[in-house]
Chains A and B, each alone.
Chain A
Amino acid sequence: MAVPLAFFALFFAYPVVAIVGRGLKSGGQWQLGRFGDVVTDPDVAHVLWFTVWQAAASTGLTLLIALPGAYVFARFDFPGKQLLRAVVAVPFVLPTVVVGSAFLALLGRGGLLDDLWGVRLDTSVWAILLAHVFFNYAVVVRTVGGLWGQLDPRQEEAARVLGAGRFAAWRRVTLPALAPAVAAAALMVFLFTFTSFGVVQILGGPTFSTLEVEIYRQTADFLDLPTAAVLTLIQFAAVLGVLALHAWTVRRRESALRLVDASRTARRPHGRGQWALLWGTLLVITVLLLVPLAVLVERSFAGPDGYGTVFYASLRSAATADSTFAVAPLEALWNSLAYGAAATAIALVVGGLAAAALTLPRLRRGRSGRMPLVSRLVRGFDALLMLPLGVSAVTVGFGFLITLDRPPLDLRASWWLVPLAQALVGVPFVVRTMLPVLRAVDGRLREAAAVLGASPWRVWQEVDLPLVRRALLIAAGFAFAVSLGEFGATVFIARPDQPTLPVAVARLLGRAGELNYGQAMALSTILMVVCAGALLLLERARTDHSGEF
């Protein structure tokens, strides 16, 4: 409990409070008058409304499209499942710059849809929603599917035997067990889309703006800290409201479940309905996820004189080029992986400890049904851990700049700044994927093992680990993926010259000329392959020690 608290206090609360405080205080006076000005501004109300609206719509749409996918991945066995599971997670890690250009290629002028049916969706709300589904599909499939695969199907079968109809059995047995995971996934998607930045900027055109975009502009472009501070507080309030709502819906729902090994619950689909569901899901994945990815790959090979590896070759020559602009792909890749490994490590330690602290037995309700104060505090802590997802990256980044700037903690030029910032975003994922599973572990199993004479270590090894390992791997995968694709918090903190893949891509996209564009697409393709590879490795991790990733 102490470690995550200290981490959050130092790397999140302190910087954010400092930058907001600087905005609200000038000349030693609290400038609370700014509140009135900003809050009553009709533009701000409009932006807030659009932010909430598009986040809710994106979340609903993502759940609608992704939940059948979660079921398919949890319950069916089909060839290529592991590979596909890794591939659907790739969009999640792509930097928005890249996704934006892929979507423009599909939905924009002269795009695929334009060629086929004359449909142009760019600068429309649909483009934003579709891109959000594209990004967050994996979040739902992984958080919900991860648990779904471990639910014992025999419980539902038992209900059927006792006379419940198929739907009733699902509604009474499976749905309640899944609810926390669905709620967690919905929460994460909502927070992600609520603070969506790149997608809204690139695909929405200048007419759509979210709070995140406004905060970014006020902070980074105008250095209007007072306005930014008020907007940050509004965003904070909104996020806290969402978190409270979430806590209220999942409370009393998390119960001990019988979890079994996921590999035992999946089987080949049988019957027409199941096959239809499988093929339907595959079709959705193809259209929504694979086509945009394929566009990037296609563009990376479409050289000036027909298809070829011309851009890849020029990337290779960049390795020996005499310029600091050219980044050798291997070097950028290595930077990305190193940052990713460090960020994942930090996120796992902090998030793992936090999740463990949140499932301590003494937090179970007493007989009177009232919660002791300490557990209320812990619940608050749970919400606190989610806050980084709901706070603008620029707020955190600029907060770092003015707080972590004195020895002993002058991290401004330190290599660790980047992984620390990325871990902030990774921790909520770790917590959210670990919690449902940890809470579902039946305490009596542990007690039984202890009674039978197992040492605490052995109890953990035999009871918790097998059940938690999967969640831990999924969490690690998320944290790693977040770090690989992360482009927000780190890109505008002045940092030593060690560009990651997303940064290198953005750099190339920012220059005119076919060569630069093609190289950007080639680097994006490399990034995709690496992500898919990393996720695939995690998928296959079937070791007996969680220490080996």
Chain B
Amino acid sequence: MSTTSRIAASAVAAAVGMTALAGCGGSGGGSADAKTVTLVSHDSFNASKSVLAAFEKESGYKVKVLRGGDAGKAVNQAILSKGNPQGDVFFGIDNTLLSRGLDEDLFTPYKAKGLENVPAGLQLDKGRHRVTPLDYGDICVNYDRGYFARHKIAPPKTFDDLVKPRYKGLLVTENSATSSPGLAFQLATIAAYGNDGWQGYWKKLKANGIEVVDGWEQAYNDRFSGSAAGKKKGDKPLVVSYASSPPAEVLGKKPAPAEAPTGVATGTCFRQIEFGGLLKGAKNEKGGKALLDFLLSRTFQEDEPLQMFVNPAREDAKVPELFTKYGAKIDKPATLAPGTITKNREQWIKQWSSLVLK
């Protein structure tokens, strides 16, 4: 018996025990049976267990959720596995990625039940129903109320405000190339100043001391002075974040404050709409359709805000008090046509990088 086989024998012996232990931990197998419906999504997808259970009971299907990376990565994985998708329904392709997904022909058209309750402004694939709008949210500049009260300065409201000298060196944003709120903020400025004007605006922002960090966590938790997580140690009272961040700041605070410690500059917002769709080549198309109907049902839509910190797409879905009391109402968010975004995205990011980071 050679050394190899001897060592092998012992290694195998060692392994068998561990594998036995590991085996209890997982139920493997991606076998698609007619009784399971699989939802493919990004890491931010959440739902109440009871809500998912209600669907399972009502429809007879078992729901399996697969998540992979952030929204961009999840969409790219769906594109990579086109024709042989990982699941039946995709949740969470937003308007900045939508036309890439549609160009790649990822989805089978299906008109979900209850679509008439969704405002026309959210229905970006109105004629063809390849995707269904399921929620929306806004990316806006957040401000630290305490800071501006202490310094007796009015917080900024618009893009034009942000380049004023009184806000010099106060704003931190994220890298467009690596962070989706960072990109959304850039897109908002492109929507506001046009393809010719946005670079000039960013030069002014740069001259006014805008700081760029890589990701939202660092911008918000580490730099922003208004986030409780950073123990108020940050030194930037303005940050690019979500319109739903102030309600999140209130969460878990006892007693509930009269207003959130942070506010939203309502004139600096970009609207992100998330869609779901039936994946082409789905193994369980019937179950997928039932799941899409459910994702647009009031039960699921009313569950969304506290689970994902987004607004429901349906007009008739009730929004919890946390949002109505502490959230901001965004009347005129900036948007761009999905096709325009997809066409220029890479070039815009490159231009932004060489303008802002160099």
Contacts and interface: CB of A to CB of B under 8 A. Distances in A.
B191 interface: no
Interface in B238-256: 241-242, 245, 248-249, 251-253
Given A101-B222, A109-B233, A335 B228 contact: no
A547 B234 CA distance: 52
B318 interface: no
Contact of B13 (A109, A410, A516, A547): A547
Given A335-B25, A342-B19, A405-B84, A207 B3 contact: no
B195 interface: no
Interface string A469-494: 00010001000000000000001111
Given A201-B215, A341-B21, A509-B221, A494 B74 contact: yes
A206 B22 contact: no
A280 interface: no
Given A496-B66, A515-B251, A339 B17 contact: no
Interface in A400-459: 401-402, 405-406, 410-416, 419, 446, 456-457
Interface in A503-517: 503, 506-507, 509-517
A362 B31 CA distance: 46
Contacts of B24: 338
Contact of A110 (B43, B47, B235, B242): B235
B86 A222 contact: no
B72 interface: yes
B65 A497 contact: yes
Interface in B27-70: 27-30, 38, 40, 43-50, 52, 64-69
Contacts of A77: none
B270 to A, nearest CB: 17
A108 B172 CA distance: 14
Nearest to A353: B8
Contacts of A100: 218
B218 A355 contact: no
Contacts of A514: 227-229, 249, 252
Interface in A313-347: 314, 322-325, 334-335, 337-339, 341-342, 344-346
B203 interface: no
Contacts of A166: none
Interface in B269-307: 307
Contacts of A304: 228, 252-253
* Size category, B interface: 35 or more
B253 to A, nearest CB: 7
B217 A509 contact: yes
Contacts, number: 269
B100 to A, nearest CB: 8
Contacts of A476: 14
Contact of A512 (B12, B227, B234): B227
A405 B12 CA distance: 28
B229 A517 contact: yes
Contact of B50 (A123, A205, A322): A322
A220 B42 CA distance: 13
B324 interface: no
A496 B64 contact: yes
B80 A402 contact: yes
B175 interface: yes
B44 A323 contact: no
B325 interface: no
Q: Which A-B residue pairs are the 5 nearest by beta carbons? A: A338-B25, A413-B30, A110-B233, A494-B68, A415-B26
29 contacts: A201-B178, A206-B214, A221-B178, A322-B48, A342-B18, A342-B19, A345-B14, A345-B15, A345-B18, A348-B14, A349-B11, A352-B8, A355-B7, A360-B3, A360-B4, A402-B80, A402-B81, A405-B81, A415-B26, A415-B28, A492-B73, A494-B87, A510-B216, A512-B245, A512-B248, A514-B229, A517-B221, A547-B13, A549-B18
Interface of B: 1-4, 6-8, 10-19, 21-30, 38, 40, 43-50, 52, 64-69, 72-74, 76-77, 79-81, 84, 86-87, 175, 177-178, 212-218, 220-223, 227-231, 233-235, 241-242, 245, 248-249, 251-253, 307, 309, 346, 357
Interface of A: 1, 3, 97, 100-101, 104, 108-111, 123, 201-202, 204-207, 217, 219-224, 302, 304, 314, 322-325, 334-335, 337-339, 341-342, 344-346, 348-349, 352-353, 355-357, 359-361, 398, 401-402, 405-406, 410-416, 419, 446, 456-457, 460, 464-465, 468, 472, 476, 491-498, 503, 506-507, 509-518, 546-549
Given A494-B66, A510-B217, A516-B229, 7 more contacts: A104-B218, A205-B213, A221-B76, A223-B80, A412-B81, A491-B43, A493-B68
